[in-house]
Amino acid sequence: MTQQPTATVSAENNAWQGGRSPFNVSYGKMMMWIFLLSDAFTFGAFLISYGSTRFFSTVWPDPNKVFHSFPFMGEANLPLLFVSLMTFILIMSSVTMVLAVHAGHYGDRAGVTKWLLWTILGGICFLGCQAWEWTHLHHQGAWWGSFTDASTPIETIKHFFNAKATSHATFATGAGLQASHDFYNYFFTITGFHGGHVLSGIVLLSIALVNTVNGTYEKRGHYEMVEKIGLYWHFVDLVWVFVFTCFYLL
């Protein structure tokens, strides 16, 4: 000891002086987290842009009026029921995903296989529901770039709004049409981007399933790949929680 230490080096600082991983996480898992962080900003930008547009609109569609249908129930008025089912399916698939990761921690190949299959099934069901909802809204004239024609009869869009909005002075003179146009552009873009994530999640999960069944991960000695895809899958569920609030509740 030739030198007096000027400050006490705590155990925590020591972790950063090389020789070990201060974050206690493998490289791949950390990079997945950083990717998800960047993806969170993409979705955040979409949703904040939606919020900004909504704040500068005099009227806005009422989710209870827009989302009130259920497959095979015809004209029955069932507000938010179908999207609740979709949310339930996605939460459920998140649970089966975390159970697959858990089984992987214990090297339980049969368990990983079973829970991955359930997760893939949940993802497919969710996409099926979304396809139905998109088709249903499309039949009502809604799509990207719809409701731009100023001669659109007011009856075409009136049922998307509540009485407070339709009685607004500017509703019939353009505000209703503009709000319908903006709402559906954001709706299809954001739920479409989310659906794209679900789809790529299903592809990744299917690859992991094949590798699990083939014993690739067992030979490797760990199921870290299942864990990383699991992080991605939970993130997709997490984004849905925010999409659900912004589009269907608020």
Q: Which residues bind other proteins (CB under 8 A)?
A: 19-27, 30, 33, 37, 40-41, 44-45, 48-49, 51-58, 63-64, 79-81, 84, 87-88, 91-92, 94-95, 97-99, 102-108, 111, 162, 221-224, 227, 230-231, 234-235, 237-238, 241-242, 244-245, 248-250
Decide whether 141 or 193 has the Cβ nearer to other proteins. 193
Terminal CA-CA length for the chain: 65
Taking the complex as a whole, the smallest distance from the CB of residue 102 to other proteins amounts, in Å, to 6
User: Which is nearer to other proteins, 58 or 206 (by Cβ)?
Assistant: 58
Residue with tokens 């799509």: 143
Helices (H) and strands (E) in the chain, counts: 10, 0
Quote the least distance from Cβ 221 to other proteins, whole Å. Answer: 5
At its nearest, how many Å lie between other proteins and the CB of residue 63?
A: 7
- 3-state helix vs strand vs coil in the chain, percent to 5: 70, 0, 30
DSSP string for 104-155: HHTT-HHHHHHHHHHHHHHHHHHHHHHHHHHHHHHHTT-STT-S--TT--HH
Token reading at 210 = 């094949």
Residue 176 C-beta: closest distance to other proteins, Å? 15
Taking the complex as a whole, how short is the minimal distance between the CB of residue 27 and other proteins, in angstroms?
5
- Closer residue to other proteins, CB minimum distance, 1 or 11: 11
Q: How far is residue 145's CA from residue 188's CA, in Å, rounded to a whole number?
A: 10
Q: Which is nearer to other proteins, 12 or 155 (CB)?
A: 12
